[in-house]
Amino acid sequence: MTLQETLELHVKAAIKALFQAELESVEFQATRKEFAGDVTVVVFPMLRVVKGNPVVIGEQVGQYLLDNVELVKGFNVVKGFLNIEISDSYYLDFFTSIKGNDAYGFVDQKDDKAVMVEYSSPNTNKPLHLGHVRNVLLGYSVAEILKASGKKVYKTQIINDRGIHICKSMLAYQKFGQNETPTEDLKGDKLVGNYYVKFDKEYKSEISELMAQGQSEEDAKKNAPLLVEAQQMLLKWEAGDEDVVALWKKMNQWVYDGFDVTYKNIGVDFDTYYYESNTYLLGKEFVAEGLKTGVFEQDADGSVWCDLTEDGLDRKIVLRADGTAVYMTQDIGTAIQRIKDYPDVGGMVYTVGNEQDYHFKVLFLILKKLGFDWAKNLFHLSYGMVDLPSGKMKSREGTVVDADDLIQEMADTAEDISKELGKLEEYSEEEKQTLYKTIGLGALKYYILKVDPKKRILFDPKESIDFQGNTGAFIQYTYARIQSILRKANVDDIGASTSLSDHITLHEKEKQLIKQLEQFPVIIQNAAEQHSPALIANYTYDLVKDFNSFYQNVSILGADSDLEKNFRVALSKTVSQTIKNAFKVLGIEVPERM
C-alpha cells in the first residue's frame, strides 16, 4: 500500500470519528517547498460532507492523525491545506523493503487478457524514416510499459505490401534497374526506395510533356504512360500474374531484410506480423453480416455504408459499388482476425499518426456496433509529426531523413561532443564506438519520448545530446557516475535485519530521494493507463535531479559512520537501478562508464 493509500484510510477514519461523516475520497498534493511537510491533504472538498471552517477542520484532522497514526510526526494548516510531516522511520522502512529488488517498479503478469500493440506498419516501397522512428519508439515503449504494469503484451505490425505505390517502385525497377541488387553499402529497402523516387521523377517528366502537347494538368496526370502501366501492373498482381508476383516477392524481401537491420539498430522487436496482401480481402464477410443486422445500409448503386450521423460522425463507406474493399473494411477484418489468431487478446493499441484520428474513431465505433465486446478496449495512440529545423519531409521527392542515417548521425554527434569533453582516454576504440551508439541512440529516444505523444516535435540532433538538462545523455551520465561511486565504495550490504530507523536520521535530500523512489510504481501504472512514455521519461529526469542535489549536499563515501555510509551507498544503488528500469521500458540502454 502506498503512503497516500495508507493516509487516505486514516483521513477517512478521522472524518468518521470526528464528524460522523463518510468521505468518498481524499484529495492529496505535494507539499509546497516553503511549508514543512511531505504530503498535503486538500480540505476544501471535505466541505461537501462536513460543514465548518476549513482551517479548523484541518487542525482537528491533523491532531487526530498525530495522536492515532504512528507514521505522522507533525502537521500544520495553511488556509484549507493540511500539510503532514511523515516520520523518518516510515521512509527508512520503505527503503529497506525495496533495496536489492532489481525489478522494483515492475509488476508480475496479473491479467489473463493480453493487449496487442501495433506499431511501425510501413510501406514496402521505401526505407524507414524519421516519422517511422517516432512511431516505432512510441509503440515499443508503450508495449514495454504495459508489460511492466502487469499486462501480457503482443507486439505486432501490419505491413502495407501491396497497392499502386508498391507497383510504382516495381515498375521503375523493371524499366531502369538493370538487375541491380542490394549490396553491403546499399540495403534492399534503400534500393527499392530509390526506384520509388525514380518513378516520381520520370512521371513528372511525362506530365510536363503531355501538358506541353496541350493536355490539362489533371488529364496529363491520369494519362501519363508510367501511371497507366503501374495501374496495369496492379491488376496483373491481383490476377496472380507469375512474373509480376515473382518481382513483387523479390523486391519485398529486399525491403524486409533492410527493415530488420534498422529495427535491430534501433533496438525494437515484434512478436507477430500481418501483411496487407493477406488482409485486404478480410472484412467483407462482416459487412455482409452487418447488412443483415442493420449496422450497414446499401445504396442504390450497390455501395455499402455505415451511417454514424447519430453518433456525431458522418456516413462511412465500407464497400465500393463494384464490391471492392476500402481501408476501413480491411481494418475491420484485420482486427477481428487478430482476436481469432490470439484469443487471449482483450484489447489493442494502434500507434498511428494524428492525421488518422477520425479513421480510428469510426473503426472503433463500427466494431462496437458489430457487437464485439473487446471493441471497448481499443485505443488509438495518436501522435504528432516530427519536423526538422530544415522543414518537412517528402518520400516521393527523396527528401526524407532516413532512419539509418539518423542513427549514424546521432552516434557521430555523440562522438564529436565526447571528444570535446575528452573523458574517454582509457577506452578501447571498440568501447568508444559502442558508447557513442548508446549515447546517440539514447539521446534520440529520450528526446522523442519525453514529449507528450500528441504534441508535434521539432527534432534537433545537436540539442538532444547535451550533458546538461532534460536529456538522455544527462541521465545516462548520472547513472554512470553512480556506478563509479559503487565501484569505489567497497561496502557491505545493509542486512535485512538492520533496523535503519533506530540508527539513522534522514537528511532532507535523502528523504526527498526516497519520496521520489516511492513514486516509481505509481508512475509505471499511470504511464500504462495513459499510454504515455513521457511520464516515465520526465519522472526519471526528476529522480536524477534529486540524486544530483543529494550528491552535492551529502557526503556518500565520507559519511560519519559505516552504517550511514552503507545506507547512502545502498540508496545510490537503488536510484541507479530505478533509472535503469525506467530507461528499460523506454528502450534506452545505460552505460556502466562514461
DSSP for 198-231 reads HHHHHHHHHHHHHHHTT--HHHHHHH-HHHHHHH
Would the CA dihedral through 475, 481, 483, 485 be positive or negative?
negative
The Cα 589–Cα 406 span in angstroms is 18
Q: Which amino acid is at 398?
A: G
Cα angle 80, 86, 89 (rounded to 5 degrees) comes to: 175
Q: Which amino acid is at 101?
A: N
Lowest-confidence region among 88-92, 160-164, 196-200, 558-562: 558-562
The Cα 495–Cα 506 span in angstroms is 18
Q: Tell me the backbone φ, ψ of residue 383, rounded to 5 degrees.
A: -140, 155
Predicted pLDDT at 393: 41
* Per-residue pLDDT tens digits for 247-263: 999 999 999 999 999 99
Would the CA dihedral through 481, 483, 487, 488 be positive or negative?
positive
Q: State the chain's mean pLDDT as an integer.
A: 92
Q: For residues 517 and 509, is the Cβ–Cβ distance under 8 A?
A: no
Q: Right CATH number for 3-86 from 3.40.50.720, 3.30.1360.70, 3.30.420.40, 2.30.40.10?
A: 3.30.1360.70
Predicted pLDDT at 420: 78
- In Å, how far are 21, 71, 273, 288 from 4, measured between CA atoms? 20, 12, 43, 53
End-to-end CA distance of the chain: 37
Question: For residues 367, 373, 379 and 380, what is the CA-based torsion angle, rounded to 10 degrees?
Answer: -10
The position carrying cell 482476425 is: 337
The Cα 388–Cα 129 span in angstroms is 12
Instruction: Tell me the mean pLDDT in the region 178-194.
Output: 95
pTM: 0.91
Question: Has residue 398 got a pLDDT over 50?
Answer: no
Predicted pLDDT at 405: 87
Cα angle 587, 591, 593 (rounded to 5 degrees) comes to: 170
The Cα 40–Cα 47 span in angstroms is 16
* Per-residue pLDDT tens digits for 302-356: 999 999 999 999 999 999 998 888 889 999 999 999 999 999 999 999 999 999 9
**How many CA atoms does the CB half-sphere of 498 hold within 13 Å?**
17
Residues with Cβ < 8 Å from 188, sequence gap 6 or more?
Answer: 182, 251, 253, 254, 255, 256, 257, 258
The Cα 172–Cα 195 span in angstroms is 5
Q: For the chain, what's the residue count?
A: 594
**Helices within 239-356 (DSSP H only):** 242-266, 276-279, 284-293, 327-341
Cα angle 345, 347, 349 (rounded to 5 degrees) comes to: 120
* Per-residue pLDDT tens digits for 2-58: 889 999 999 999 999 999 999 999 999 989 989 999 999 999 999 999 999 999 999
Q: Tell me the backbone φ, ψ of residue 117, rounded to 5 degrees.
A: -110, 120
Question: Has residue 497 got a pLDDT over 50?
Answer: no
Pairing of strands 152-159, 345-353: unpaired
Instruction: Tell me the mean pLDDT in the region 278-299.
Output: 91
User: What does the domain layout of the chain look like in residue ranges?
Assistant: 3-86, 403-586
Predicted pLDDT at 357: 96
Containing H/E element for 471?
A: none
- Comparing CA positions, the residue from 403, 391, 394, 480 lying closest to residue 448 is 403
CATH 1.10.645.10 fits 403-586, yes or no: no
Instruction: Tell me the mean pLDDT in the region 176-189.
Output: 95
* Per-residue pLDDT tens digits for 138-171: 999 999 999 999 999 999 999 999 999 999 999 9
Q: For residues 62 and 14, is the Cβ–Cβ distance under 8 A?
A: no
By the 10 Å C-beta count (0-12 exposed, 13-18 middle, 19+ buried), 429 is classed as exposed
Q: Which amino acid is at 414?
A: A
